[in-house]
Chains A and B, each alone.
Chain A
Amino acid sequence: MRRMAPVLAGHRGRLAGALSLALVAMLIQVAMPAVIRQAVDRSLVARVSPLWPYVAGLLALGGARAGLTYLYRNGLFKLAWGIDTDLRVLLFDRVSSLDWTYFDRVASGQLISRANSDIRSVQLYLAFAPLVLMTVLQFVVAVAYMLTIDVGLTVVAVATLPAVYWFGVRLRDQTFPLSWISQSRQAEVAGVVDENIAGVRVVRSFAAEQQQVTEMARAATRLRWANIRTADSRSRLNPLIENLPRLSMAGVVGYGGWLVIQGRVTEGTLFAFTAYVTQLQVPFRTLGLFLMLGTRARASAQRIYEVLDEQPRVADRPGAVDLIDAVGRLSFEGVTFRYGGADGDRGAVLEDFTLEVPAGQTVALVGRTGSGKSTVGRLLGRFYDVEAGAVRIDGHDVRDLTQVSLRAHVAFAFDDPFLFSVPIRDNIAYSRPDADLAAVREAARDAQADGFIDALPQGYDTAVGERGYTLSGGQRQRVALARVLLANPPVLVLDDATSAIDAEVEALIHDALRRRLHRRTTVLVAHRLSTITLADRVVLLEGGRVVADGTHAELLAREPRYAAVLATVDDAEDPAGDVTNDPADQPVAG
């Protein structure tokens, strides 16, 4: 939590201002019952002074308090949301500077939900904990004032308040874990429904409806138990918390009344004390809550710092230079690489991998799953750093180059392309946001995406849905290819980027590629024969090494392992996912 100090420091002035205003507002709150007390005693009982100054005073205090309260609350809210903003931006900045290894390790869904709730809990605590301290201060002032009037009556008035605090803590001790239990059981119920929907075909096929209903009843019973437990806890403790201060009120009426009869205090005092009992429960009710929130905020802050402290494993070296006007000569020199780092327990994906690709060549990397062919492309973009050896572009070790300039020279298209939920046009122009529509259209035409995009309701302005899943697999691949064509870099990595596209359309795309990317270096990771035949040269990988190198025809003739790998590449199926418009063959989940 101490490390949050720099975040808070930026808001120091605002915090101090808001807190001073809050303090004044709270002192006014203490003063108001005192005014009524004086009014009752001096104007109504003793009748020694006129009533109107007290009424006017009360209104003035009320107005002043209202103004101050508005100001300090606004101030604290600004502070709170300022901190929230700072943390969110910091987190985004940090996370987006991390490398692929981080995203290989961390589930992004967890990151998001935790980041959100952690930031919220820190924000809440930092902004409102000081306010609770102010109410404690208010309590001290009020009690001091009460003590000057009558010690015994003060004791009666505040005696039950510690119990209010204590029962409040007990209630939270019980209901907070219970609410987690309830939530998890709510999730269980949702889980049963979810599975029932997703597996509806299986349920119907096996006539398992009764079983499912029983399953639901079981989950619902468990949820009901947790909810009733919560209601029971509340039913025991809530009435105590609500009613204990009223016991103090009864005490004030009884003991205070007796004191009045004795002539030791006045009637007005009775009113002031009952008003204080009501006012003063507030800190006792909230103090425990904020102590707990404090514990939680500390844990949250720690988790946030775990992310902020994360160091990218791939970073620009001091003195890294910009790659300028590269022609795209690639070389891999004795590259060894394993996922999870050199000290990881996983086997090497590439081992002593050596390959030279002259500028302008199209080379296809072929191999079984796990042979390391996709990794080659990733190392080229320096999404990971090699363990041994070097990856060079135009003779420069990629580690000596700035990442930005390197990636401006290499464009990637992956087999499961990621589309952002923005208009198609912006998806195509993703690496060149300033490109005009004509350029976007041209790229789309060459990627054979023009036709279906024009058929969309808003053409190029159609926002593709969440992660672009409203498009078929083949359509998404074509958008991703258009993206690469628009970027038009000297080096191109197509990682199985046409796997869901019809062979004929693929050929058209490659015609365009050849035309547009004339003298561009292209690395194809290929599974399909139709893709492989487009390359000038084929490199066969096995166990992270090059085992054969040549043209498709040469390898087919002299390398039995090449033929074996090709045999597993069954081209007979029609491309999955490109054309399924008929519900007849759309798989209902199950």
Chain B
Amino acid sequence: MFGGPGFFGAPRGGGGLPFGGIPEELAERATAILATEPDHPTPDVPYSPIAEDARPFTLARFVAPLRLALVGTGAIVVLETVALQAGPWLTQVGIDRGISRRDTGVLVAVTLAYVASVLVSMVAGGVRVAVTGRLGERLTYDLRVRVFSHLQRLGLDFYTGERQGRVLTRMTSDIDNLTVLFQDGLVNLTVQGLTLVVVGGILLALNPLLAGIVLLAIVPLMVAVTLWFRSASDTAYNRVRDRIADVLSDLSENLAGMRVVMAANRRRHNLVAHTNLVGEHREANLEAARIGAVYGPVSETIGVLGQAVLLGVGGWLVLHDRLTVGELFAFLLYLTSFFAPIQQLVQLYTTYQSGRSSVVKLGELLATPPSVPEAPGAAELAPIEGHIRFDDVTFAYDTGRPVLEHVDLEVRPGEVLAVVGPTGAGKSTIAKLITRFYDPQHGSVSIDGVDLRTVTLRSLRSQLGVVPQEAFLFSGTLRDNVAFGRPDAPEDEVTDAVAAVGLDGLVARLPLGLDTEVHERGVSLSAGERQLLALARAFLARPRVLVLDEATSNLDLASEQQVEGALDRVLEGRTAVIIAHRLATARRADRIAVIDHGRLVELGSHTELVATGGRYAAMYAAWIRNATS
């Protein structure tokens, strides 16, 4: 199928992630190029929870660091443009002073000057591309790191729902748009604008009448046609994009749902529907193509029209000895120099618009304040014992109804507390408040008597271990994942952590052991194994307090038992809060807190609560009945 994944990669360090899909004919050259890549030193980019530059993000501030470099680049651009546009003028001099007067010396001088101008524009052009490329990349790099750093400051509430996709867009296409705006936009604007000015100046100096005809008749015509083309073709290509998206999503839906398509005997029907979509795609493309097929010949014809006018009017002037043949030549040659800048400047407008809107969007992102900000001058949280207190805590997501209301709760050092309750009761919120993923609207959460809002996030979270419902695995090796919280952890501690959760057997069976890559968000591991890995990760971080947020609720019975077994070792001597979906998990805790409708309704040991005969007792009875029926 499609020649296999065609994995292609270079050794780690100097190389990179394998990239599938590179055409085989390019793979060899790409490898050769990658071989020349130096080892990049580990970047030293300090992260601070408080933004260094709080000023609004604008285009001017974006390029400001490069002011001086830009002035230098401007000088190079002027040199390049002048050298580039010297040709037709030199031709004119050669014809009028050399050829017409049969002066070989002038002709030789002109030719040498021409060659020199070519060399100058060659070198200047090269320098310009290299320099602006570097400047642009520097800006982009800084911006990327800056935006990404800010993303690290934002709270979990920022990462809900459809925002996730937008964040990725900010980090990719919006930043790319700015690079394009800088490299194609700013630089091209200078180059093309300057070209128009230089050529216009030369023409006016040569012959004002003829220059007037070119500048006032031909150029505006060209501008008008090009403007029409841009807007028409932008509209048409937007339609093309929509149509191809329709075709591809229909194809993808059919492939993904092929089993249903077959079962429902819909093949014929869907083929017709797909054919229609493909037809619409073709029509949209033909429409766009027609616009191009009009613009091309029309703009060429404007060029011919210009030549004809120059030949007619200019020729008449020559015949009346008011223009030399060399000057007519120069006009004919310069005519084409006008067209490319006009086309590019019109194009620039689109670039500017998308760049502009990206600036605004990035500015908004950078101006988003973190929902759990670190207080200025926040203290380091001293090593904790693990005494957690909720004091009259009320909390609501956004402005919705409160999820927790007036909750008072205490977890003693070394105690294992389970939190149970129906779906939506607010159990998970308790976990999120302890880890300060959110701040309560009212009341306070403290550890060892210290309000969480007064300490640095790092010092707090580095003493907590969290195991969420879905273990997230980062790409990289098993070792990278286990040592996520402590990348510098010594090998024996990593192996100990793996053994503590009972994953050592699995690791031993893998040919590469801990160096095995975890692919695609860890799909090659079962849900239970991933959860064990998350547990090992928390274990290695040696937290004083462990928070399990429904860590076993997505597991089947066998995996759950495995994880429960590992828990015994991991919980040893630690304060732990276990948000439990299943009573089997809750039963083992020292105490159980029952949450319902945002309130703490019962608190006590399993035996106590069963004896009391309240909510917990009822839940437990129902569970026992079901399990044995």
Q: Does A148 contact B (CB under 8 A)?
A: no
| Residue pair A115, B251 in contact (C-beta under 8 Å) | yes
Q: Does B362 contact A (CB under 8 A)?
A: no
Q: Contacts of A105 on B, CB cut-off 8 Å? A: 1
Q: Does A14 contact B (CB under 8 A)?
A: no
B17-49: which have CB < 8 Å to A? 17, 19, 21-27, 29-30, 33-34, 37-38, 40, 42-43, 45-47, 49
| Residue pair B329, A201 in contact (C-beta under 8 Å) | no
| Residue pair B312, A51 in contact (C-beta under 8 Å) | yes
Stretch at the interface among B191-199, B508-516, B569-577, B621-629: B621-629
User: Contacts A96-B267, A235-B126, A467-B253: A580 and B26 contacting too (C-beta < 8 A)?
Assistant: no
| Residue pair A404, B265 in contact (C-beta under 8 Å) | yes
| Residue pair A229, B33 in contact (C-beta under 8 Å) | yes
| Residue pair B129, A55 in contact (C-beta under 8 Å) | no
| Residue pair A589, B472 in contact (C-beta under 8 Å) | yes
0/1 string, B603-629, CB within 8 A of A gives 1: 000000000000000000011001101
Q: In the complex, what distance in Å separates the CA atom of A224 from the CA atom of B141?
A: 7
User: Contacts A44-B328, A204-B437: A257 and B107 contacting too (C-beta < 8 A)?
Assistant: yes
Q: Contacts of A584 on B, CB cut-off 8 Å? A: 397, 403, 424-429
Q: Does B231 contact A (CB under 8 A)?
A: no
0/1 string, A91-116, CB within 8 A of B gives 1: 01101110110010110111111111
Taking the nearest CB of chain B, how far is it from the CB of A193, in angstroms?
4
| Residue pair A201, B316 in contact (C-beta under 8 Å) | no
Size of the chain A interface, CB-CB below 8 angstroms: 174
Taking the nearest CB of chain B, how far is it from the CB of A496, in angstroms?
14
Stretch at the interface among B286-294, B351-359, B445-453: B286-294
Q: Does B58 contact A (CB under 8 A)?
A: no
| Residue pair A44, B319 in contact (C-beta under 8 Å) | yes
Stretch at the interface among B409-417, B454-462, B490-498: B454-462
Q: In the complex, what distance in Å separates the CA atom of A223 from the CA atom of B469?
A: 34
Q: Contacts of A570 on B, CB cut-off 8 Å? A: 557, 582, 627
Picked from B38, B252, B435, the residue with its CB within 8 Å of the CB of A108 is B252
Picked from B21, B293, B537, B556, the residue with its CB within 8 Å of the CB of A73 is B293
Stretch at the interface among A180-188, A356-364, A452-460: A180-188
Residue on A with the closest CB to B26? A177
Q: In the complex, what distance in Å separates the CA atom of A570 from the CA atom of B560?
A: 12
Picked from A246, A407, A590, the residue with its CB within 8 Å of the CB of B470 is A590
Q: In the complex, what distance in Å separates the CA atom of A176 from the CA atom of B487?
A: 37
Could you say which interface size class chain B belongs to? Answer: 35 or more
Q: Does B525 contact A (CB under 8 A)?
A: no
A207-246: which have CB < 8 Å to B? 207-214, 216-218, 220-222, 224-225, 227-232, 234-236, 238-240, 242-243, 246
Q: Contacts of A411 on B, CB cut-off 8 Å? A: 263
Main SS of chain A's interface residues?
A: helix
Q: Does A451 contact B (CB under 8 A)?
A: no
| Residue pair B1, A106 in contact (C-beta under 8 Å) | yes
Q: Contacts of B394 on A, CB cut-off 8 Å? A: none
Picked from B167, B279, B307, the residue with its CB within 8 Å of the CB of A58 is B307
| Residue pair B304, A62 in contact (C-beta under 8 Å) | yes
Residue on A with the closest CB to B14? A222
Q: In the complex, what distance in Å separates the CA atom of A239 from the CA atom of B172?
A: 30
Q: Does A40 contact B (CB under 8 A)?
A: yes
Picked from A58, A176, A206, the residue with its CB within 8 Å of the CB of B308 is A58
User: Contacts A36-B332, A55-B312, A59-B305: A199 and B472 contacting too (C-beta < 8 A)?
Assistant: yes
Q: Contacts of A200 on B, CB cut-off 8 Å? A: 156, 159
Q: Contacts of B145 on A, CB cut-off 8 Å? A: 213, 216-217, 220
| Residue pair A257, B437 in contact (C-beta under 8 Å) | no
Q: Does A289 contact B (CB under 8 A)?
A: no
User: Contacts A65-B297, A108-B256, A240-B122: A210 and B47 contacting too (C-beta < 8 A)?
Assistant: yes
Taking the nearest CB of chain A, how far is it from the CB of B371, in angstroms?
12
Q: In the complex, what distance in Å separates the CA atom of A573 from the CA atom of B487?
A: 37
Residue among B22, B40, B111, B244 with max Cβ neighbours from chain A (10 Å): B111
Q: Contacts of A20 on B, CB cut-off 8 Å? A: none
Q: In the complex, what distance in Å separates the CA atom of A97 from the CA atom of B297?
A: 45
Residue on B with the closest CB to A247? B118
Q: In the complex, what distance in Å separates the CA atom of A224 from the CA atom of B107?
A: 47
Residue on A with the closest CB to B403? A584
Residue on B with the closest CB to A72? B293
Stretch at the interface among B64-72, B220-228, B268-276, B342-350: B268-276
Taking the nearest CB of chain B, how far is it from the CB of A427, in angstroms?
10
A561-581: which have CB < 8 Å to B? 568, 570-574, 576, 579-581
| Residue pair B627, A231 in contact (C-beta under 8 Å) | no
Q: Does B583 contact A (CB under 8 A)?
A: yes
| Residue pair B99, A267 in contact (C-beta under 8 Å) | yes
Q: In the complex, what distance in Å separates the CA atom of A109 from the CA atom of B256?
A: 9
User: Contacts A180-B26, A568-B557: A278 and B336 contacting too (C-beta < 8 A)?
Assistant: yes
Picked from A66, A84, A580, the residue with its CB within 8 Å of the CB of B282 is A84
Q: Contacts of A185 on B, CB cut-off 8 Å? A: 16
0/1 string, B454-487, CB within 8 A of A gives 1: 0001101110111011101011000000001101
Q: Contacts of B300 on A, CB cut-off 8 Å? A: 62, 65-66, 69
Q: Does A389 contact B (CB under 8 A)?
A: no
A61-100: which have CB < 8 Å to B? 61-63, 65-67, 69-70, 73-74, 77-78, 81-82, 84-85, 88-89, 92-93, 95-97, 99-100
0/1 string, B570-598, CB within 8 A of A gives 1: 00000000000111000000000000000
A523-539: which have CB < 8 Å to B? 529
Q: Contacts of B257 on A, CB cut-off 8 Å? A: 418, 420, 467
Taking the nearest CB of chain B, how far is it from the CB of A221, in angstroms?
5
Q: Contacts of B423 on A, CB cut-off 8 Å? A: 574, 579-580, 582, 585
| Residue pair A216, B144 in contact (C-beta under 8 Å) | yes
| Residue pair B315, A194 in contact (C-beta under 8 Å) | no
Taking the nearest CB of chain B, how far is it from the CB of A379, in angstroms?
13
Q: In the complex, what distance in Å separates the CA atom of A106 from the CA atom of B21?
A: 15
Q: In the complex, what distance in Å separates the CA atom of A209 from the CA atom of B372?
A: 14
Q: Contacts of A587 on B, CB cut-off 8 Å? A: 428, 468-470, 550
Q: Contacts of B264 on A, CB cut-off 8 Å? A: 407, 430-431, 483, 487
| Residue pair A222, B40 in contact (C-beta under 8 Å) | yes
Q: In the complex, what distance in Å separates the CA atom of A520 from the CA atom of B5?
A: 46
Stretch at the interface among A248-256, A333-341, A435-443: A248-256
A-B contact pairs, 29 of them (CB 8 A): A44-B318, A55-B315, A58-B307, A61-B304, A65-B304, A77-B290, A88-B274, A92-B271, A93-B271, A95-B255, A108-B252, A181-B19, A184-B19, A191-B475, A193-B168, A199-B474, A202-B466, A202-B484, A205-B461, A221-B40, A224-B137, A243-B122, A246-B114, A250-B111, A254-B108, A412-B263, A430-B260, A572-B627, A574-B423
Known interface pairs A193-B168, A381-B263; 8 further A-B residue pairs with C-beta atoms within 8 A, sorted by A's residue number:
A189-B144, A205-B464, A213-B148, A218-B42, A221-B141, A383-B263, A570-B582, A584-B428
The 8 closest A-B CB pairs, nearest first, are: A231-B133, A62-B304, A254-B111, A184-B19, A431-B264, A217-B43, A77-B289, A250-B114
